[in-house]
Structure 1
Amino acid sequence: MCGRFALTLPPEAMVQLFGAAPANDLPELPNWNICPTNAVHAVLSQEGTRRFVSLRWGFIPVWYKSPGDGPLLINARAETIAEKPAFRQAARARRCLVPASGFYEWTKDGDGKRLPWYIHPEGQEFVAFAGVWQDWTSADGLALSTCAIVTTEANEALGHIHHRMPVTVAEPDWGLWLGEAGHGAAVLMRPAPEDLFAAYRVDPRVNSNRAEGPELIEPFDG
């Protein structure tokens, strides 16, 4: 799964890399501890134009009467996304890219203590997670643009940490995932190459969703 991640690149750099027009309400960066329900950066493509926007991380299906009307949907499983009522229309028509410098996962020691790991791409500054998005409006007019990150089974390199991982979309495939290059995006929902990510233990301070600062992604030997 993906339940926490970091993004440290300047928005201006990502605007250039994605070739996307930026919105005015983008979240502040850097952020070393992006949590569910936070606003995240995302790239959409609408009528052939890429937009760099802010989305609430936590997909809200159209039938929810309030944001908390059902489970918090931060991830969408690649294996079932095309059939699940919450996601199937978005998987066809509302796909997005969510940039990340790295993400966190947890293992447990013999006493059940949660041990955080930081997982980041080797030799590059960020990756683009596959996502789906949904506009949601309540009966009293509250409007939210929301998203979920698509996950798949972990590759062998990361399977000892967690059995799931985010789907990553390589730059040559961005247009295909965003719907700019015709059909066939489903083939992208597979584990990342074995050599894409490196992982190391980090400070348990990141176990708190209130923790912040660059030290959260520094190697930890404790």
Structure 2
Amino acid sequence: MCGRIANTLPHDAVAKLFDAVPANALPQLPDYNICPTQDVAVVTQEGGRRYRPMRWGFLPHWYKSPTDGPLLINARAETVAEKPAFRKAVRERRCLVPCSGFYEWYREGGEKLPYYFHRADGTPLVMAGVWREWGEDALPTFAVLTTEANALMAPIHNRIPVVIEREHWGKWLGEEGHGAAVLMRAPEDDVLAFHRVDKAVNSNRAEGPELIEPVAA
């Protein structure tokens, strides 16, 4: 799964990279420990590309409140088109989630050992997402798609985020007709790199650039 993100990408640079119109109010960056229920800036296609904040944690239309059911931070690529919560969104409301990287944990005995994953080439990591607006106030919410782990991730965790390469951004956003389903796969084994980081990030209150710095395994 993907349950924690780091983002140091300047908003103006990201908006320019995606040729998207930025919202007036965007989450404060850098943020080295973005947790579910926080706002994340994502890219959507709404008659033109928009770069806008959304709550991380997809809210189906039948939820009476944000805590009315499980916190849906991820959607499984294998079943997203079938699940009632996500099936309409994956057809009509897909988004791109740019970030610097994400954390994943490996359980060793009673310990949770954190690892930081990022693109090996140093470019922004762009994950696939689905979104919808919820409630009378049309609160925008999203979930990150995950799929079965590739060989790189498998020793750490059995799931990995779906990563969308630059040449496929338009297809995922629905700008090139149908066919986005073929993008819901694990990245090639050489796309990401990772290293152990300090257990300080186990706390959702931790913050600072030291969270993504390598530590001895």
Q: Normalization by structure 2: what TM-score?
A: 0.98
Match of 1:124 among 86, 109, 122: 122
**C-alpha displacement at 1:143, in angstroms?**
3.6
Give the structure 2 partner of residue 183 of structure 1: 178
Matching of residues 37-48 of structure 1 within 5 Å: 37-47=37-47
Q: 1:127 deviation in Å?
A: 1.2
2:155 maps to what in 1? 160
Matched with 1:211 is 206
Write out per-residue CA displacement over residues 72-106 of structure 1, whole angstroms, 9 at most, x where no aligned residue.
Answer: 00000000000000000000000000001111000
Give the 5 Å matches for 1:100-115.
Answer: 100-110=99-109, 112-115=110-113
- Residue of structure 2 in register with 1:99 after alignment: 98
Q: Take 1:145 and 1:46, find their aligned partners in 2: how far apart are those partners?
A: 13
Match of 1:3 in 2: 3
**After TM superposition, what 4+ stretches of structure 1 lie above 4 angstroms from structure 2?**
none
Unmatched 5+ stretches in structure 1: none
Shift of 1:25: 1.5
Amino acid at match of 1:14: V
Between the aligned partners of 2:28 and 2:19, the Cα distance in structure 1 is: 20
Give unpaired runs (5+ residues) of structure 2. Answer: none
Residues of 1 paired with 2:123 and 2:145: CA distance?
Answer: 20
Amino acid at match of 2:96: L
In percent, how many aligned pairs have the same letter? Answer: 60
Alpha-carbon distance, 1:109 to partner: 2.0
Query: 1:11 corresponds to which letter in structure 2?
Result: H
Match of 1:133 in 2: 131
| Aligned-partner SS, 1:14 | helix
User: RMSD in angstroms over aligned alpha carbons?
Assistant: 0.9
**What CA distance in whole angstroms lies between the structure 1 residues aligned with 2:132 and 2:108?**
38
In the alignment, what sits opposite 2:73?
A: 74
Counterpart CA distance in 1 for 2:207 and 2:133 is 29
Equivalents in 1 of 2:111, 2:81: separation in Å? 36
In the TM superposition, residue 182 of structure 1 has moved relative to its aligned partner by 0.4
Partner of 1:18: 18
- Give 1:38 deviation, angstroms: 0.5
Question: Who is 2:32 aligned against?
Answer: 32
CA distance in 2, matches of 1:91, 1:143: 18
TM-score using structure 1 length: 0.96
